């Protein structure tokens, strides 16, 4: 693993949802210095959609030809 044990922290939050079923969520935090070693940094902009999504028929045609 590229991270030292003290550079990564993860938490699990659990509870009962409004529908009565159990829910869980993981939160993972990585120290900024560890990200910099991988060529990443905390000041990078978040990913953004730059083009509109292809039409629905395109996805359906791609799935048909994938098999």
**For the residues of the chain, what is the DSSP string, one character each?**
--S-GGGEEEEEEEEE-TTSSEEEEEEEEE-HHHHHHTT--TTSPPP---SPPPPHHHHHHHHHHH-
Q: What is the mean pLDDT of the chain?
A: 85
For the stretch 13-41, pLDDT in tens is: 999 989 999 999 999 998 888 888 888 87
Q: Is residue 25 part of a domain?
A: yes
Q: Is residue 67 part of a domain?
A: no
Decide if pLDDT at 45 tops 80.
no
Query: Nearest-5° angle of CA 40, CA 42, CA 43?
Result: 105
Full residue range of the structural domain in which residue 7 is found:
1-42
Number of domains making up the chain: 1
């Amino acid at each position: 693993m590229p991270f030292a044990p003290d550079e990564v922290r993860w938490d699990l939050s659990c509870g009962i949802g409004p529908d009565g079923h159990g829910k869980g969520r993981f939160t993972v935090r990585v120290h900024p210095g560890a990200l910099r070693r991988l060529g990443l940094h905390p000041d990078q902009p978040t990913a953004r959609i730059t083009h509109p999504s292809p039409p629905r028929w395109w996805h359906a045609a791609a799935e048909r030809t994938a098999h």
